[in-house]
Amino acid sequence: MRHIFLKLWGGGLLLLCLMTWVPSPVLAQSDDLPAVCADATAVTPEECGALVALYNATDGVQWANNENWLNFADGVTPCQWYGVQCADNHVAGLALAQNGLSGRLPRALGRLDFLTRLDLSGNRLGPGIASGACLLGDTLIQADFGYNRLEPGSAGLRNCLTSMDPDWRATQTIAPRGLTLDNFAANAVSLSWTPIPYVGDGGVYQVSYSTSFNGDYIVHGTTADRSVAGYLLDDLEPGMSYFIRVRSVTPGHAEHSETLMSDPAWTIGVTRGTERILLAAVISADNNLSAYAPAILRRMRTGTALNPNVTVVVLADQRGQGDTRLLRMEGGQVTELDALAQVWGSDELDMADPDVLAWFLRYAREIVPAERTMVSLIGHGVGPTPDLAWLPPAPPDEPLPPPVDGIPPLPRGLEATPADVTDGSYLSTLDLAAALRAATDDGAAPFDILFFDQCFQGNLDVLYEVREAATLFIASPNYAWLVAPYAQYISQLAPAAENETIAATIINRYEANLNDSHPNAIFWARSQDIEQVAAAAGALGDALRAALGDGQAELVTRAVQNGRFVDTTQCGRGEFVLGPPDELIGAGSLAANLRQAFGEGDAYGVSAAAAQLLAGLSNLDSESRSGSPYLAPEQTWSYNDRITILAPLGRNLPGSVVWRASLYRDAAEQPAVWSPDPGQNVLVQGSFAFVQDYGWDEFINAWYGELEPTVGNWCHYTPPSIVLEAEGELMAFSGEVTPERDILLTWDAPEEVDPAAYYLYGRVPLGVDLELLATLPATAADTLLADPFPGQYDLHIVAVDENGNPLAQSGDIGIAVEWVMDLHLPLIAR
């Protein structure tokens, strides 16, 4: 292990990558009135707009009676629309009972300032309503919301409905609350819940299940009535994962002629199997990921409550001293283990030390005998990175190198290392492989699944280096958004499922938690698949070297220009561009383009070798998503390839640009230049196994010729990810710099939901883009960022539920903290 000791340096940044799941911008509802209401008669334009909004929000086209609605022909006014009652040129009543209204009551309903009577009973409204509906309470004399599906998300909204219609809750067909799994058997799981208030009119709970989230759900049965608080879901298969839904169902009756069904309450459960599965997880968050660690641990604990077959052992470290934790989780219970003090004599371990990683993985296996083991490495990923040592080693008082333009790599002055800031440590690809070899007895006892929950590790050099550590690998070749839905992941670790099935479900759950503002790619590959791809890539390198020797460089250049690149180097400049000068290209797109460029049966064997590479890649199962990332909406990311490989870029580029290529050779040691400070040398130690075993490096070296060995910059960035519905509530949020130069932030709690916590996100000085700054309790309405670093802060706050899912968020606010110079006047003695 090599240590990079860091000091504060205002000009440089080593960017940390593992994208955490970031908010799509909330679409605030517009207050603009429909154009058709500008010249409305008999009512005000605002009231006309409220009626139009009600019609659109509740699927007015499907109403039982929508006579005259949205009809603005000569002589027709909103007062002539079915159910609208007017008085004194205002809307005074709405009588739309049993008329087929469905969906969410809109905010604009609050514009009906003179409404005194409102009857919306016997419809399919709900479960949510907008806070604007509560504005009606000032004028309403009579209201009826009975026999719907209403279940407002906040106590404030529920109270306001009660003030308008005191018994509304007694007749709502809603999902049961608190759905949990009580007992697990080999062929059954026991469910329990809190019954809903509405128990009459023949209502029941319907229980259904599926073996996949989006699959066909089978109705298992119904309860006798709605006073029942549980159900035995039996006739299941042992050791299988099941997605379970419970709905409330009310058959047609006098107050509501049609059968009414609630949205489902759902959970995941796993029947008992004959195998024990160990999840050994490493959370390397002694860096700018620190704020995410508690939420990830909570999700892991929740996952063990859903799966009786899994034990989780986790080593987690956060920012600061004395916070390394070793935990065991089973059945939703957490036990703090004392092995850190016994073995290491410390509660602050260096998460970049390969000895620590190897010890933890061996220890987890020792204390949890299991038939199968999955390892999850959560933290910053960097792709293929060299093992480095400074020449000579830097003493603690070494002066900082002079600032340079651009973003330097490995800056000693910024807390942005791949693993551990407190210890100032860096974990190279070779160190990672050494740790995994030690943990698996040199591959003799491989793990079943190794999940790189990190960016950029879906690279051929990385995966070939660790290929013997597991039988199956999950990795992302590009940015990996830190979704971390570990409750969902753990619920899929089913004893009856093959490793391939588990891996496919994990990448499916990962994708399902994102949207198109979080474009990405993720795949799984078996160890033998990686070896096949490596052999094919090596053969392709040999064929390309032969073609290059015969003057065919232009065909190679054309294939590269049309390839799919990732972004491992450019995010430091705020340029989230998938393309050169990044050096990692999708192996599949490169191979396909080379086949097209050289043609079938070329004299060098390029097309044939490329076909073999494509055949090997076809064994890798993947999912991808294209779109415009929220952090660079002007860009379109369409990387749909799988594994990456080092690309041949412009042949005249210097080593400072194609620095990975400048080091890409089979050498035990090679001195290299540190690009921000050419006077500072480093020693690159060792070479990648793929370089040693195959000839892709020989093609790359022949392509560029002599390059000065250089260590350049790389990206590890983690933007947070939050996917909000377009109707998400917009929270009031403000901030100011106090006289003490702290940042004071205040916000109003959302009106439509009751959050379990708040996440504070921000773009901060010397940062790259959005990151999670703090998790705040639900009772908080303000927070203080003490002693902030001078510069520009762009901040916003998100309300989340108990699982970290976003409920509402604010817009961005910008706050500038100015530099203040301390003046020291001389003391003059008289």
Closest CA to 743 of 778, 782, 775, 770: 782
Instruction: Return the SS3 of 92.
Output: strand
Identify whether the C-beta of residue 694 lies closer than 8 Å to the C-beta of residue 535: yes
Extract the tokens encoding 111: 């514009």
Global pTM value: 0.88
Identify whether the C-beta of residue 164 lies closer than 8 Å to the C-beta of residue 142: no
* pLDDT recorded at residue 135: 86
* pLDDT recorded at residue 288: 83
* Bridge-based pairing state of the strands 771-777 and 806-810: unpaired
* pLDDT recorded at residue 389: 72
Q: Tell me the mean pLDDT in the region 662-689.
A: 87
Strands across the sheet with 177-184, in order? 177-184, 189-194, 230-233
Q: What is the CATH architecture of 177-270? A: Sandwich (2.60)
* pLDDT recorded at residue 482: 84
Q: Does the pLDDT value for residue 7 go beyond 60?
A: no
Q: Does the pLDDT value for residue 418 go beyond 60?
A: no
Q: Tell me the mean pLDDT in the region 544-554.
A: 97
Cα separation, 618 vs 608, whole angstroms: 15
Instruction: Return the SS3 of 125.
Output: strand
* pLDDT recorded at residue 676: 66
* pLDDT recorded at residue 28: 34
Q: Tell me the mean pLDDT in the region 24-39.
A: 60
Task: Kindly indicate the confidence band of residue 39, based on its pLDDT and cuts at 50, 70 and 90.
Answer: confident
* pLDDT recorded at residue 16: 35
Mean pLDDT of the chain: 88
- Spell 117-141 as b/e; 16+ CB within 10 A means b: ebbbbbbbbbbbbbbbbbbbeeebe
Q: How many CB atoms lie within 10 A of CB 531?
A: 17
What pLDDT digit, counting tens, does each position of 600-615 carry?
A: 999 999 999 999 999 9
Q: Hey, which of 240-249, 400-409, 623-632, 795-804 has the most confident mean pLDDT? A: 240-249
Extract the tokens encoding 217: 């759900």
User: Partners of 775 in the beta sheet?
Assistant: 759
Task: Kindly indicate the confidence band of residue 718, based on its pLDDT and cuts at 50, 70 and 90.
Answer: low
* pLDDT recorded at residue 359: 98
Q: Tell me the mean pLDDT in the region 729-738.
A: 92
What pLDDT digit, counting tens, does each position of 56-75 carry?
A: 999 999 999 999 999 998 88
Q: Tell me the mean pLDDT in the region 757-773.
A: 84
Task: Kindly indicate the confidence band of residue 678, based on its pLDDT and cuts at 50, 70 and 90.
Answer: confident
Cα separation, 243 vs 636, whole angstroms: 34
**Percent of the chain scored above 90 by pLDDT?**
69
Higher pLDDT, 430 or 407: 430
Q: Does the pLDDT value for residue 403 go beyond 50?
A: no
What pLDDT digit, counting tens, does each position of 91-106 carry?
A: 999 999 999 999 999 9
Cα separation, 436 vs 459, whole angstroms: 17
* pLDDT recorded at residue 29: 37
* pLDDT recorded at residue 644: 97
Cα separation, 281 vs 301, whole angstroms: 12
Extract the tokens encoding 507: 């990448």
Q: Tell me the mean pLDDT in the region 242-265.
A: 96
Q: Tell me the mean pLDDT in the region 699-710.
A: 95
* pLDDT recorded at residue 12: 27
* pLDDT recorded at residue 6: 26
Least-confidence region, from 392-401, 499-508, 772-781: 392-401
DSSP string, 269-297: EE---S--EEEEEEEEEBSTTGGGHHHHH
Identify whether the C-beta of residue 721 lies closer than 8 Å to the C-beta of residue 20: yes
Least-confidence region, from 116-120, 295-299, 471-475, 719-723: 719-723
What pLDDT digit, counting tens, does each position of 813-823 carry?
A: 999 998 765 54
Residues 6+ apart with CB under 8 A from 9: 400, 401, 403, 411, 412, 413, 414
Where in the chain are all domains bearing CATH 3.80.10.10?
35-171
What pLDDT digit, counting tens, does each position of 299-308 carry?
A: 999 999 999 9
Residues 6+ apart with CB under 8 A from 312: 278, 279, 280, 281, 300, 301, 303, 304, 327, 328, 329, 330, 490
Q: Hey, which of 31-45, 147-161, 569-583 has the most confident mean pLDDT? A: 147-161
Evaluate whether the domain defined by 728-817 bears CATH number 3.50.50.60.
Answer: no
* pLDDT recorded at residue 723: 62
Task: Kindly indicate the confidence band of residue 770, based on its pLDDT and cuts at 50, 70 and 90.
Answer: confident
Please measure the distance between the N-terminal and C-terminal CA atoms of the chain and give it in whole angstroms. Answer: 59
Cα separation, 671 vs 681, whole angstroms: 7
Closest CA to 567 of 700, 383, 710: 383
Instruction: Return the SS3 of 630.
Output: coil
Whether the bond into 581 is cis, omega within 30 of 0: yes
Q: Does the pLDDT value for residue 345 go beyond 60?
A: yes
Q: Does the pLDDT value for residue 10 go beyond 60?
A: no
Cα separation, 600 vs 594, whole angstroms: 10
* pLDDT recorded at residue 381: 85
Cα separation, 513 vs 424, whole angstroms: 33
What pLDDT digit, counting tens, does each position of 124-149 carry?
A: 999 988 888 888 888 999 999 999 99
Question: CA 144, 148, 154: angle at the middle one, nearest 5?
Answer: 85
Q: Tell me the mean pLDDT in the region 440-447.
A: 98
Q: Does the pLDDT value for residue 666 go beyond 50?
A: yes
What pLDDT digit, counting tens, does each position of 324-333 carry?
A: 999 999 999 9
603 secondary structure, DSSP code: T
* pLDDT recorded at residue 93: 98
Q: Tell me the mean pLDDT in the region 536-541.
A: 98
Q: Tell me the mean pLDDT in the region 442-452.
A: 98
Q: Does the pLDDT value for residue 400 go beyond 60?
A: no
Where in the chain are all domains bearing CATH 2.60.40.10?
177-270, 728-817
Q: Hey, which of 172-181, 285-294, 579-588 has the most confident mean pLDDT? A: 172-181
Residues 6+ apart with CB under 8 A from 501: none
What pLDDT digit, counting tens, does each position of 196-234 carry?
A: 999 999 999 999 999 988 889 999 999 999 999 999 999
Closest CA to 201 of 261, 269, 252: 252
Q: Does the pLDDT value for residue 278 go beyond 80?
A: yes
Cα separation, 529 vs 531, whole angstroms: 5
Enter the CATH code of domain 35-171: 3.80.10.10
Cα separation, 415 vs 421, whole angstroms: 6
Task: Kindly indicate the confidence band of residue 570, based on its pLDDT and cuts at 50, 70 and 90.
Answer: low
